[in-house]
Amino acid sequence: MNSESGEGVELTLALAGDARIARPLSMFDDERFLSVVKVIRDADAAFFNLEALLLDARYGPFYDSGGEPPHGRYVALEPWGADELKWMGYGMCSCAMTHAWDFLYNGILSTIRVLDEKGIVHAGSGRTLSEARFPGYLQTKKGYIALISALGDVPPMTPALDPAGCNLGKPGINPLRTDVIIDSETAKKLQEVFVKVRGKVTKVEAWGHDVFEIGSTRYIIGKKKGHYCYPKARETDLDANMREVRGAAKQADWVLFAYHYHDMYNDAAAEVAHSAIDNGADVFIGHGSGARNLGGIEIYKNKPIFYNIGVFIAQLETLKFQSSGIYENMNIKDGTLGDIPDEYPTWWSCLFVPTLRGKQGPERKLVGLRLYPIDQRPTPTPRGQRGRPLMAKRKLAREIIEGIRKASAQFNTSIEFRDGIGVAKL
């Protein structure tokens, strides 16, 4: 145990969701924006999810130039975006996300290079699978912080690979995939329908006769009787990630586990979150479920689990570069970027600020949690003015915190609205 995180030391984090920064921020000096920046800078460490790649997208290549990528738009931020996030006070980020393969190897390797040059600690992507799983480490006055980051909804080609034989490996992300456990009768009907529609169900002899794939989803036929269908974290991925958590707990004073996925309250998400805490993580950070829903907060063994921290910077509409295929996919003829539909139906978020205290292990606990509601200026505000995080006021602030309060009630976590922000009653 390093002296920085002894028994009485507290660590305060500022946790933000997806950051898609397409326009400079550091020029603004309005109070509502600078008050958000102050919260970030006042924390001992600040985290965001980099839901984008950092590269000059003019040099591509796109993953599929004949149509849109598996998850909507191609998302590439110009490298100066990292400077803006650093200016705001962010020092660490997750890179395990569904857009990691939008620009093939080039996008992943460029992002790693830019973050390294800017001094932003990152985790979740790498030149090989071992590197993608390896924690990022940030030194602070309050101790050494480890970050492990994984992706739950994994598009084809996205996972990194380790070298094997003469294969040099492949850049990609750290997968923590979800399989579906299904009863035999339902599995049979599902396969019959899929064969009629698409003509093929993937089976591999090494998997055994009780395992098959449809698309990128793996189904495992369960042993128990009755009808059921539920998600479960893939055992090999979960074991590998928890091994990194245990190692990080020996190496660092504080451990964060970030998980990008799109179904907030499935059994697999809770399984991953609880496993991360059980193996030594101090905080579980879920993100990727979109701008509409901010997830609930669970206090598990005195440690916080954030099931979805939302979208923090929402400037996707003003990204400069897209493949021509996206226009065809959206049936836009002779269109421009301005003709692509708006991305988000709602424009709000939250900055989550937990404080932990105590020695590493079971004695450490959450001692404070503040929730700062964020306004991103909804339509009819013009695109060029939307998406910048501002401190929400009055009615909107109360609505945002009320949504988190309702989502957290199922976990018996009590949130109250006080002086314009949310405060957890611990």
Pair (102, 227) in one structural domain:
no
Q: What is the mean pLDDT of residues 127-155?
A: 96
Highest mean pLDDT range out of 72-86, 142-156, 199-213, 318-332? Answer: 142-156
Pair (261, 352) in one structural domain:
yes
For residue 240, being part of any structural domain is answered with no
Residues 164-195: tens digit of each pLDDT: 988 889 999 999 999 999 999 999 999 999 88
Pair (152, 216) in one structural domain:
no
pLDDT for residue 422: 98
Residues 361-383: tens digit of each pLDDT: 899 999 999 999 999 987 678 88
Residue type, 184: S
β-bridge partners, 368: 355
SS3 402: helix
pLDDT for residue 2: 45
DSSP code per residue over 120-164? -EEESEESSHHHHHSPEEEEETTEEEEEEEEESS--TT-B-B--B
DSSP E strand boundaries for 330-420: 348-357, 365-375, 390-391, 414-418
CA nearest to 47, candidates 282, 278, 249:
282
Q: State what percent of residues in the chain have pLDDT above 90.
A: 68
Pair (270, 358) in one structural domain:
yes
For residue 133, being part of any structural domain is answered with yes
Q: pLDDT band at 267, cuts 50/70/90?
A: confident
Residues 220-248: tens digit of each pLDDT: 999 999 999 999 999 999 999 999 999 99
For residue 170, being part of any structural domain is answered with no
For residue 116, being part of any structural domain is answered with yes
For residue 287, being part of any structural domain is answered with yes
DSSP code per residue over 191-258? HHHHHHHTS--B--GGG-TTEEEETTEEEEE-SSSS--EEEEE-HHHHHHHHHHHHHHHHH-SEEEEE
Residues 312-341: tens digit of each pLDDT: 998 888 888 777 777 777 778 888 888 887
Pair (221, 335) in one structural domain:
no
Give the H/E segment covering residue 77: strand 76-77
Q: pLDDT band at 4, cuts 50/70/90?
A: low
Pair (294, 406) in one structural domain:
yes
Pair (199, 70) in one structural domain:
no
Tokens of 353: 């600020």
**What CA–CA distance (Å, rounded) separates 305 from 302?**
10
Pair (343, 218) in one structural domain:
no
Contact between 120 and 110 under an 8 Å Cβ cutoff? The reply is no
Polymer length in residues for the chain: 426
Write the CB contacts of 336 (distance below 8 Å, at least 6 apart in sequence).
Answer: none
Pair (225, 334) in one structural domain:
no
Phi and psi angles of residue 33, each rounded to the nearest 5 degrees, phi first? -75, -45
**What CA–CA distance (Å, rounded) separates 172 from 95?**
10
DSSP code per residue over 18-30? EEE--S--TT---
For residue 386, being part of any structural domain is answered with yes
Write the CB contacts of 325 (distance below 8 Å, at least 6 apart in sequence).
Answer: 62, 64, 65, 66, 67, 68
Count of structural domains within the chain: 2
Highest mean pLDDT range out of 39-48, 201-210, 328-337? Answer: 39-48
Pair (99, 218) in one structural domain:
no
Residue 71's CATH number: 3.60.21.10
DSSP code per residue over 250-314? HH-SEEEEEEE-S-TT-HHHHHHHHHHHHTT-SEEEEE-S-SS-PPPEEEETTEEEES---EEEE
Q: State what percent of residues in the chain have pLDDT above 70.
A: 92
For residue 243, being part of any structural domain is answered with no
For residue 335, being part of any structural domain is answered with yes
Residue type, 371: L
The residue among 201, 233, 265 that closes a domain is 233
Pair (269, 372) in one structural domain:
yes
Pair (194, 130) in one structural domain:
no
pLDDT for residue 290: 58
**What CA–CA distance (Å, rounded) separates 36 from 351?**
8
pLDDT for residue 5: 56
Burial class (CB in 10 A: 0-12, 13-18, 19+), 172: buried
pLDDT for residue 6: 59
**What CA–CA distance (Å, rounded) separates 37 from 90?**
10
Whole domain around residue 392: which residue ranges?
3-161+254-425
Q: What is the mean pLDDT of residues 386-397?
A: 94
pLDDT for residue 82: 97
CA nearest to 12, candidates 56, 44, 48, 58:
44
- Residue 210 confidence (pLDDT) above 60: yes
- Residue 281 confidence (pLDDT) above 70: yes
CA nearest to 18, candidates 258, 256, 178, 277:
258
pTM of the model: 0.94
